[in-house]
Amino acid sequence: MASCSVNLDRARTLFLQAAPVDAVVRACAGHETEAGQRALAMMVVAEPAQRLCRSYRRRVLRALLRSLDGHEIDEGLVVEYLAADSAGGPEPPPPSGVTFEISGSRLFLETSDAFGGGVETSGRLWPAAPALAAWLHAHAAQLTAARVLELGAGPGLCGLALACCAEAERVTLTDLVPDALRRLSSSAAALAPRLSGRVSVEALDWRDNEWRACEAALPSQPPAGAGGERRVDLVIASDVAYDPLLLRHLCDTIGAVLRVSTAAAPAPARPPRAWLVVERRSEETFAALAEALAAAGLEVCDRSERLRRVCEAQLTFYCAEESLPRMMLLELTAPRLKELA
């Protein structure tokens, strides 16, 4: 029998990131041979697949078995599928989540479908996060030695992906929800040997006075050789513009951080900026966001078309096809203080 040359790399990426089941099955097309079936078995039963939500693994397993209708199925493979389908035992399962393989690093993000206390938003991986992560991955060379601040980090995909693929000087992940801060700290700790202490986790409430928020966001002890200035080079945020009541606080926080950082940046260095990725679900909310950005004195450059092209061309992150047409990337800058005079 000719050896199977099925390339399951894309299917494995989709599976580990908990992409829709039909997308995983489509990526497995051509796996019907004996060798292909065994490759699938390795994909679904080996680490890190065990850390996926058990119900999701079960749905994928059943869909893959259905896709083999009409083909001879190896009995040993069926046993492996059934064993994986019933895995668990008396011990409580480990935290479930999704896995990304980025520039030689394996990044596991714990996720949650729970409700209450802000977990319903901070515990999920929303479509804008992998879109922004793909953009950061594509621009990693521009972020060498950068100081990066992530707002509303949630599971932390964007900031941690950036830390994995770019030689950023410092990445600060912020959120307000205690459970999100715990997950962020756990994920960062797992990558500590690779990241060499370049990632920190901080609590930040946008509703605080904007200057207090700015002080909290900018570390008081910059790395050696930084000249002691309190500034960041890049602010990132994904899918944080969903609550009209928080938009003004969000934009004021971004504006405060960028103004302080812009004033501290040596001219003619490229001014500090923010990359904000949002899914345009509601025209009313998007209009409120535009109004809040203007009120915060921020200059806006729409890079949405470029974002969509980047997402479509890469294979590292699963970007939902149905969300891409609504995905917006806004690049924000703050005029230098002398320009405002």
Confidence class for position 150, pLDDT limits 50, 70, 90: very high
What letter does residue 323 receive in the DSSP assignment? T
- Phi first, then psi, for residue 200 (nearest 5°) are -130, 160
Confidence class for position 87, pLDDT limits 50, 70, 90: low
How far is 76 from 242, CA to CA, in rounded Å? 49
How far is 170 from 187, CA to CA, in rounded Å? 16
pLDDT number for residue 226: 40
Q: How many residues are present in the chain? A: 341
How far is 213 from 234, CA to CA, in rounded Å? 16
How far is 204 from 213, CA to CA, in rounded Å? 7
Range with lowest mean pLDDT among 9-18, 55-64, 204-213, 305-314 = 204-213
pLDDT number for residue 114: 54
Whether the Cβ atoms of residue 18 and residue 98 lie closer than 8 Å to each other:
yes
How far is 100 from 98, CA to CA, in rounded Å? 7
pLDDT number for residue 229: 58
Q: Which helix (H) or strand (E) holds 119?
A: helix 119-122
How far is 109 from 95, CA to CA, in rounded Å? 9
Confidence class for position 228, pLDDT limits 50, 70, 90: very low
pLDDT > 90? residue 89: no
Helix (H, G, I), strand (E, B) or coil at 327: strand
- 234 against 87, higher pLDDT: 234
Residue 182 vs residues 155, 171, 202, 203: alpha-carbon distances, Å: 10, 17, 10, 10
Q: What is the pLDDT of residues 229-283, one digit of tens each?
A: 567 999 999 999 988 889 999 999 999 899 888 877 766 567 899 999 999 999 9
CB atoms under 10 Å from CB of 225, counted, come to 7
Confidence class for position 194, pLDDT limits 50, 70, 90: confident
Whole-structure pTM value: 0.85
Range with lowest mean pLDDT among 33-37, 319-323, 327-331 = 33-37
**Number of DSSP helices (H) and strands (E) in the chain, helices first:** 15, 9
pLDDT > 80? residue 10: yes
pLDDT number for residue 132: 98
How far is 67 from 72, CA to CA, in rounded Å? 12
Q: Is 151 exposed, middle or buried (0-12, 13-18, 19+ CB in 10 A)?
A: buried
Confidence class for position 196, pLDDT limits 50, 70, 90: confident
What letter does residue 140 receive in the DSSP assignment? G
Tokens found for residue 21:
């089941």
How far is 245 from 115, CA to CA, in rounded Å? 20
Q: Is 270 exposed, middle or buried (0-12, 13-18, 19+ CB in 10 A)?
A: exposed
SS (H, E, C) 285-300: HHHHHHHHHHHCCCEE
**Domain assignments of the chain as residue spans, ordered by start:** 9-85, 100-340
How far is 82 from 281, CA to CA, in rounded Å? 40
Task: Tell me the CATH number for domain 100-340.
Answer: 3.40.50.150
Beta-carbon-side half-sphere exposure of residue 206 (alpha carbons within 13 Å): 21
Tokens found for residue 5:
């040359």
